[in-house]
Structure 1
Amino acid sequence: KACFLYLAFFNTGWSLPVQGKETWGYVDVREGAHMFWWLYYADSSSFKDLPLVMWLQGGPGGSSCGFGNFEEIGPLDTDLEPRKTSWVSSASVLFVDNPVGTGYSYTDSEEALTKDVAMVAADMMVLLREFFNKQTEFQSIPFYIFSESYGGKMAAAISLALTKAVQKGSIKCNFAGVALGDSWISPLDSVLTWGPYLYSTSLLDDYGLMEVTRAAKAVQEAVEQGQYEKATEQWSITENVVEQNTNGVNFYNILTQQDDELMKSSLNDNGYLSAMKFRHIRPLHRQSLSQLMNGPIRKKLGVIPKNVTWGGQAEEVFESMSGDFMKPVVDIIDELLAAGVNVTVYNGQLDLIVDTIGQELWVKKLNWDGLKKFSQMKWTALEDPESAGQTGAFYKTYKNFAFYWILKAGHMIPSDQGQMALRMLKMVTLQE
């Protein structure tokens, strides 16, 4: 059941500022599977004049309602201070803890966790059908899906399922496009380019490049043999090799180093569960955020079951999806483009886990009929909103496909370059 909140004050030791109109709730997407969503209406005299954006986090197992909300694009940061680059200034924003088991979403048993992106998309269709049936004021408003990391892989599958559902009339919404940020669309293209990217930025020497390349080839072999769980394990091993040869480069931003404690913990075990726990889930559930979500935010929401801990099932979510983790979804992007869906790819210059050159490789594999023309086009520079006269990004668009190269940003673009991310949002959603 959805809950509405307009003003909130709690004596919890945290000061919760007055916010605009919000609503949230659970949807039972399957028996034993409960998905949580949280909507912020746009900060505008009329929210109907602005688009609706759904934000999907990565992992799988990262919380949109937690990390995406308080660390990246929501109205408040983790100190509960107003965010100057909040996307709520330019759109109504829907955060969904997806897949089930992520964030405040939960399952009654591990058997109810999702196994692949097809199952993820099916669950999201149930949630979106319920959402648009109840929030009828959003049925005609342009609806965009923005995503990050593995969230982009899920967003691709969700967008295709949504396109079909809208055509059939089973979901009433004005689906306007999908934006894939530093997204795990073609995992192998990412892994195979880690070595060359790090070598070109002087973070690997010849010996290190040889070691990383050898490890990446083992991932490729597993993928080509269709052994996807083995490929996920080899992916983890390759990450260990990268860390050992770069003195702990941060996979989310190559100009920083991995947290020393987390790195040592991950290097103790070559298994993929270790990599998941310490590299790609733990940073999304850092202690301060966990305390916020399991403390004052939980109390504010008032609908979280007593037996549910925010982020409590995150590791199980990743493990359950491990057989699907290394599978590409480039074919889904082709289907979206062929169906006329607006697709945007955006990537951070300093990201390693999903490096830009890997993204460019899978884009060149598209069967889209506009690819040749797109490839021949010259990109356009965008000025950095925070540094007059400095280039902050490049972009290129042709027909229903666009690519944004975001400079001085890592994996979490809104965190690293908030003003540029906000401008990109406005451009993608046709506000400028």
Structure 2
Amino acid sequence: LYIYLAFFNTGWSLPVQGKETWGYVDVREGAHMFWWLYYADSSSFKDLPLVMWLQGGPGGSSCGFGNFEEIGPLDTDLEPRKTSWVSSASVLFVDNPVGTGYSYTDSEEALTKDVAMVAADMMVLLREFFNKQTEFQSIPFYIFSESYGGKMAAAISLALTKAVQKGSIKCNFAGVALGDSWISPLDSVLTWGPYLYSTSLLDDYGLMEVTRAAKAVQEAVEQGQYEKATEQWSITENVVEQNTNGVNFYNILTQQDDELMKSSLNDNGYLSAMKFRHIRPLHRQSLSQLMNGPIRKKLGVIPKNVTWGGQAEEVFESMSGDFMKPVVDIIDELLAAGVNVTVYNGQLDLIVDTIGQELWVKKLNWDGLKKFSQMKWTALEDPESAGQTGAFYKTYKNFAFYWILKAGHMVTHCTSA
């Protein structure tokens, strides 16, 4: 049964399926993180796992975009989603880092600077969550992520593994899944040109232009000038757009929205260009109206001075010095510690293209890499198209890689748990 919560002065009614709860955790002085939990739609949620979902950006809202646009129980029209992950797991959305979505800071100085700080904040939240929601302490707990959320998920998973070993957090951590994740930014950028060229989206001249721009990113990274590398990354995106007539970085079979492309190309600042390409699509007007209207009223705990997504640009800017740094070494540590690590990637994604993902995997020091590399992948049938291949996968020991066909950056738009 659905419980309908009507709100005055709006034309919305909110159907809520099953049990849910939410709240804030003060992770540091002046830093307040919001979380939202949906219990699994089951007679006994304890028989199903708990999944935490982390969005990208940094600055993209899990409680907004991940919840209403991808895997939550309701879509943006507040209609029940047929492929909601809540049918198979309890789902915990966290607006992370602080300043994202409903999470907020009292000053810009309290925003996070790198993934180590992000992980430290999340440990505070998870410690309080599992101390209060004790029913989840023994349930298998997985971290799923998308885009930059995967980079944060890697750091969070390592910190959580250590916290569980020390006994400071009580939970049954079962593994991490990295979807189209920004694990090795340079490997992604350096393969944009070859990928677009191989799919007939660049000619020889365009390939030369994109390659030259990507090499500037590489030079900055190799010199340890990471803020400059982030700026050059945005410049490279401009070069890609100019030479492909606005290819969509999230799905190469579509084009960038004309308004977004013109705004990003004509803007003088790379942070503003980033906003148009990678934050605005996650905070589109309809979603913003939903989150700052009826959802805000339903939750009843959002401070009056906090606007959903209001600090998103500042979040990215604060993290810009960390944005282009790789975390491949963290994946190695996770594998060595026995943590189950799964990589899944959309075939049509550009910004985190699959060939870039394959490159960083080949750089792992993991002792199972040689055997993994020698294995033949296995085909998976598309559940919606009988007889059609929907994906390939390989798995060895505690590592798995899934090649998702006909999917872009937002893989979960076409998959369910």
Report if the CA contact (8 A) 2:141-2:175 is conserved: yes
Partner Cα distance (1:138, 1:6) in 2: 27
Partner Cα distance (1:314, 1:99) in 2: 10
Report if the CA contact (8 A) 2:251-2:409 is conserved: yes
Report if the CA contact (8 A) 1:240-1:270 is conserved: no
Deviation at 1:16, TM superposition (A): 1.1
Structure 2's unaligned 5+ residue stretches are none
Count of equivalent residues? 412
More displaced, 397-406 or 264-273? Answer: 264-273
SS at match of 1:143: strand
Partner Cα distance (1:212, 1:304) in 2: 44
Q: TM-score, normalised by structure 2?
A: 0.97
SS at match of 1:166: helix
Deviation at 1:17, TM superposition (A): 1.2
Deviation at 1:216, TM superposition (A): 0.1
Report if the CA contact (8 A) 1:155-1:180 is conserved: yes
1:372/1:188 CA distance change after superposition, 3 Å: same
Partner Cα distance (1:271, 1:366) in 2: 35
1:331/1:6 CA distance change after superposition, 3 Å: farther
Partner Cα distance (1:270, 1:363) in 2: 36
More displaced, 215-224 or 12-21? Answer: 12-21
1:79/1:6 CA distance change after superposition, 3 Å: closer
What does residue 223 of structure 1 align with? 221
Deviation at 1:381, TM superposition (A): 0.5
Deviation at 1:272, TM superposition (A): 2.1
Structure 1's unaligned 5+ residue stretches are 414-430
Partner Cα distance (1:379, 1:360) in 2: 13
Alignment of 1:381-420 (within 5 A): 381-413=379-411
Report if the CA contact (8 A) 1:63-1:311 is conserved: yes
Q: Deviations over 1:153-180 (max 9, x none)?
A: 0000000000000000000000000000
Q: Deviations over 1:389-412 (max 9, x none)?
A: 100011110000000000110000
Q: Deviations over 1:139-198 (max 9, x none)?
A: 000000000000000000000000000000000000000000000000000000000000
More displaced, 15-24 or 371-380? Answer: 15-24
Partner Cα distance (1:19, 1:389) in 2: 34
Partner Cα distance (2:22, 2:401) in 1: 32
Q: Deviations over 1:307-354 (max 9, x none)?
A: 000000000000000000000000000000000000000000000000
Match of 1:158 among 156, 159, 169: 156
Deviation at 1:276, TM superposition (A): 1.5
SS at match of 2:14: coil
Q: State the identity as a percent.
A: 99
Partner Cα distance (1:192, 1:22) in 2: 43
More displaced, 266-275 or 133-142? Answer: 266-275
Partner Cα distance (1:18, 1:285) in 2: 22
Report if the CA contact (8 A) 1:232-1:326 is conserved: yes
What does residue 199 of structure 2 align with? 201
Report if the CA contact (8 A) 1:6-1:19 is conserved: no
1:10/1:41 CA distance change after superposition, 3 Å: farther
Deviation at 1:11, TM superposition (A): 6.0
Q: TM-score, normalised by structure 1?
A: 0.94
Partner Cα distance (2:259, 2:5) in 1: 40
Partner Cα distance (1:11, 1:120) in 2: 38
SS at match of 2:364: coil
What does residue 44 of structure 2 align with? 46
Report if the CA contact (8 A) 1:186-1:329 is conserved: yes
Partner Cα distance (1:215, 1:239) in 2: 9
Deviation at 1:5, TM superposition (A): 9.4
